[in-house]
Amino acid sequence: MPNEILLNAFDMNCMAHQSFGLWRHPRDRSVNYKTTEYWTDLAQTLERGLFDGLFLADVLGTYDVYGGSPGAAIRTATQIPVNDPTLVIPPMAMVTENLCFGVTGTLSYESPVPFARRMSTLDHLTGGRVGWNVVTGYLQSAAKGTGQVDQSAHDTRYDIAEEYMEIMYKLWEASWSENAVRLDRKAGVFADPDRIEQIKHDGLYLSIDSPHLCEPSPQRTPILYQAGSSPKGRSFAAKHAECVFVVGPSTAVLTSVVADLRQRATDGGRDPADLKIFAMMTVIVAPTDEEAQAKLADYQRYVSHESALAVLSGWTGIDFSHFSLDDKLTNSKVEGIQGVMDAFTADPGRVWTIREIAEKIAIGGPSPVVVGSPTTVVNEMERWVRETDVDGFNLARVVAPETFVDVVDLVVPEMQSRGIYKREYRPGTYREKLYGRGPHLTTPHPGSAYHR
């Protein structure tokens, strides 16, 4: 059990992220996602609660499996519209001093040199408070939408990702060596070209021939996030990631996932404690258990089956529009559906109706939902950490920003009083805050080998 539990807020530059239909709740403000104030207010709330980070997910396609069109997703604002996540980070950094920011970058759609520059610019502007969630892309609609005939096969995508990471490390770590920037006004030398390497990479999938276009930012390589759950994905995470997002319906499921990730890190020569693992969780908290249950019941009045099924169809590839809400999901009806349901719910083997699974997904998506008083909630968080060996939680919102405000006002003080949550931020960059070491990747992380 670590001394301190880490907290990330999990959000997206859109309305319905992990709760579906809730934008209709009278107190929900997610319709303002397109304004700067919405994000700066959120950042200030999270910093008030000493959250470690705000993580912004992203997709570049639509949920168009349900009914064979994006119609249901569009009607219900289900991860569409979705604005660019990087652009809201500089304003949030302006109004905060310590909150860190993670952002998804889907490498299939990002040219390496401009993308490396975008992340370095963020790292400069935030004073080293930025992380990158390495995503290879999972929506076929995004591949199609961006002019790629087909998504690369899953394993090939990870091969491309390996090569992409190699290029990123070369740009961020190798291109500008230490002391390359001299800033010698008298001699007229800003930087020493002999200490700046032209990165020539001619690989199987990618080629570049350029120096990094930015001078070294506080962290050089931003904090690396990953969320892969397949064997290839877990190996990739265990090798490259500093923060890993996991999601599981029960501590039983997560325990083996976390153990496997840490074992893979160990096998690769890394300290398994250097993987900071965040379990997705949704918390509905109120001063008493009864009030929290009443809050849940109120939220449930606003769920949208259509929205939840649109997103679930996208995640699973199963078109749930072919069923009526009262249909039962059995393997005889949909091949392998029991396994899919078990992955999203904490009742292995239970047969679900479409309505039931939609209502499960509609609040907190695939995450466990913890409802209760601060005592109840923090007990449950402690149990998850104890049983699964995660380092903290990636908290989704139900009503924006109410869910986060509630956590800051009620959960954080309870955690602090138990001595399992910080009372102030550590100084420095994201990496310094997470590890209490320096701002840069260090050995044996594979990226550190590129540092000159």
Annotated binding residues for FMN, as ranges?
58, 104, 154, 158, 229-230
Nearer to its own copies (CB atom), residue 217 or residue 235: 217
Nearer to its own copies (CB atom), residue 156 or residue 207: 207
Nearer to its own copies (CB atom), residue 194 or residue 424: 194
In whole angstroms, the minimum distance from the beta carbon of 308 to its own copies comes to 12
Of 283, 279, 281, 263, residue with least CA distance to 271 = 263
Of 13, 174, 26, residue with least CA distance to 79 = 13
Nearer to its own copies (CB atom), residue 112 or residue 314: 112
Residues 71 and 63: their CA atoms lie apart, in Å, by 9
How crowded is residue 218: how many other Cβ atoms within 10 Å of its Cβ? Answer: 20
In whole angstroms, the minimum distance from the beta carbon of 73 to its own copies comes to 9
Nearer to its own copies (CB atom), residue 292 or residue 308: 308
Residues 309 and 72: their CA atoms lie apart, in Å, by 9
Please give the DSSP secondary-structure letter assigned to residue 178.
T
Q: Does residue 11 contact residue 19 with C-beta atoms inside 8 Å? A: no
In whole angstroms, the minimum distance from the beta carbon of 183 to its own copies comes to 7
In whole angstroms, the minimum distance from the beta carbon of 149 to its own copies comes to 9
Please give the single-letter amino acid code of residue 92.
M
CA atoms within a 13 Å half-sphere pointing along the CA-CB vector of 171: 27
- Per the DSSP assignment, residues forming a β-bridge with 181 are 191
Residues 366 and 361: their CA atoms lie apart, in Å, by 6
In whole angstroms, the minimum distance from the beta carbon of 301 to its own copies comes to 12
Distance from first CA to last CA of the chain, Å, rounded? Answer: 36
Known binding residues are 58, 104, 154, 158, 229-230
Residues 184 and 188: their CA atoms lie apart, in Å, by 6
Please give the DSSP secondary-structure letter assigned to residue 35.
S
Nearer to its own copies (CB atom), residue 144 or residue 422: 144
How crowded is residue 339: how many other Cβ atoms within 10 Å of its Cβ? Answer: 10
In whole angstroms, the minimum distance from the beta carbon of 312 to its own copies comes to 17
